[in-house]
Amino acid sequence: MKLSPYILHTDTDEGRVYYNTKNNHSFFISSRLVEKMKDDVEIQNQHESYLKSYHYNQEDKEFEKVTAEIAKADETILEFTILTHGDCNFRCKYCYEKFEDIAMSEEVEQAISEFAEKLLSVKNYKQFHVHWFGGEPLLGYRTIKALSSKFQEYCDRYGVAYSSDITTNGFLLTRNKQAELIEKCSVTSFQITVDGDQEGHDSQRVLVNGQGSYQRILNNLKQLSSSTFQFNCIIRFNLSESNLVSVSNFLDQDGKFLKDDERFELLFYNVSDWGQGSREKDYCVRMLAEDKSYEFARKAYENGYKLNYPESFLHNSFTCYANRLNHYMFNVRGIIQACTIDLYSSQNVFGNIVTKSINETKRKHWVKNIDVERCQNCPYVLICKSGHCPLVRNSKTSSWERLCQSNKRRIQKSLALFALTKGYNDVLDVL
């Protein structure tokens, strides 16, 4: 039997993990079983039947079939990203945003609300998911509550499942807001950044008045952990040259309460240069020359922490929301965009929801589909999708080959972490 070209694998000390990117099925097979199988025809036949039952074998037109299935599933999900406020109460040393003290008007809220109802009423969506973003989204708390109420009403009316998440610095996430967001606004997931212990965090994530933010965020996280609410909270660490020791210290000391709470997951990223934003030129951090995220994730897992991304970043449905036609982003003035990083480029502007002007032709051109000629036979293509980030794909600073190798390394590291966390479906071993 010939394996499909879309099967990935990675070796461990005890055996090998296989991941089927066609259907996201995975299994671990021990080295002992592989050795025994060499001389046992019956086990060989059983193993081949197992592989075929989960479509690990090469099949006719499998690329076309799987990409069609992914596209069909994608059509059932409507996504909004809403920047509720133009300002932030932080001035982080790596932030790419330009801030303006402006809240979303009721006129913009109404236009977004009407647009959501129009889409939900005429299309066969099964899910509607909203990302609350900023600036600092909790500065626009009134907008979150007002729009959440409308979105929930529409979803109840049209039989659509509703959920939302929020990316917040956590400073304003008081106990009352935690309860309201989860119970009244259907927020199911939080992403909050902690850049190490107090010294490291406060050196990178600084309040507008120049003071530190660490202790209040830590207290808010402990309050969230002490609650009985059902939620998922991603604790993100942005790694720079100056905070590596600090992040390790946090994991060894202040962060230990997160180990005992399954609702919290850790996510590690190197600081990247996405733009200067409102920062002065020398108000910055030194970026790392090499990726440290895998190393920190591995150590965190080995020390009892739960990781956020190994499986989700391998799933063939994974793609940046900015690369989905059924995703719309609205800034505080109602400008329609797609990408939360490329905020100030004309290529990332598609109209205004208040004037009901949407350039759908330009939106379709922004979304990048799989480059079939280049990538169809690549084992990573169903995850990578020819580099699913339109901002990077449109970049003139990196060659295709460089982007390709970068995506392969990312997927390989995710697969290694997936194997480490034993997230696979089945274990095949000698009885």
Within this chain, do residues 135 and 161 fall inside the same structural domain, yes or no? yes
Within this chain, do residues 308 and 223 fall inside the same structural domain, yes or no? yes
- Contacts within 8 Å (CB) and 24+ apart, 148-155: 148/184, 148/185, 148/186, 149/184, 150/113, 150/116, 150/117, 151/113, 151/116, 152/186, 154/116, 154/117, 154/120, 154/121, 154/128, 155/120, 155/128
The secondary structure of 329-345 as a DSSP string is: EE-TT-EEES-SS-TT-
Inside any domain, residue 353: no
Which pair of tokens denotes residue 275? 């733009």
Within this chain, do residues 82 and 46 fall inside the same structural domain, yes or no? no
**Which residue type occupies 158?**
Y
Q: How far is CA 176 from CA 3, 44, 224, 377, in A?
A: 54, 59, 10, 52
Give the end of a domain, one of 278, 313, 348: 313
Within this chain, do residues 161 and 22 fall inside the same structural domain, yes or no? no
Give the end of a domain, one of 313, 332, 349: 313
Inside any domain, residue 407: no
Within this chain, do residues 234 and 110 fall inside the same structural domain, yes or no? yes
Inside any domain, residue 106: yes
What is the C-alpha separation between 339 and 109, in angstroms, rounded?
20
Which pair of tokens denotes residue 404? 């390709």
Cis peptide before 135 (omega within 30 of 0): yes
| End-to-end Cα, the chain, rounded Å | 24
Helix H segments across 212-339? 214-226, 244-252, 293-302
- Contacts within 8 Å (CB) and 24+ apart, 351-358: 353/108, 353/111, 353/112, 353/115, 354/107, 354/108, 354/111, 356/111, 356/115
What is the C-alpha separation between 54 and 26, in angstroms, rounded?
9
Within this chain, do residues 149 and 188 fall inside the same structural domain, yes or no? yes
Inside any domain, residue 254: yes
Which residues does the chain have with pLDDT short of 70? 274, 276, 281-282, 388, 393, 395-398
What kind and span of H or E run contains 146?
A: helix 141-158
pLDDT of residue 398: 64
Within this chain, do residues 26 and 94 fall inside the same structural domain, yes or no? no
Within this chain, do residues 149 and 240 fall inside the same structural domain, yes or no? yes
Phi-psi region of 24 (alpha: psi -120 to 50; beta: other; left: phi over 0): left
Inside any domain, residue 336: no
What is the C-alpha separation between 128 and 154, in angstroms, rounded?
10
Within this chain, do residues 147 and 190 fall inside the same structural domain, yes or no? yes
Radius of gyration of the chain from its Cα atoms, rounded to whole angstroms: 23
User: Helices H, strands E: what count in the chain?
Assistant: 15, 14
Task: Give the count of domains, the chain.
Answer: 2
Inside any domain, residue 360: no
What is the C-alpha separation between 114 and 283, in angstroms, rounded?
41
- Domain of 209, CATH number, reads 3.20.20.70
pLDDT of residue 397: 63
């039952």: which residue's tokens? Answer: 53
Give the end of a domain, one of 277, 297, 313: 313
CA torsion through residues 378, 383, 385, 387, sign? negative
Q: Domain range for residue 302?
A: 75-313
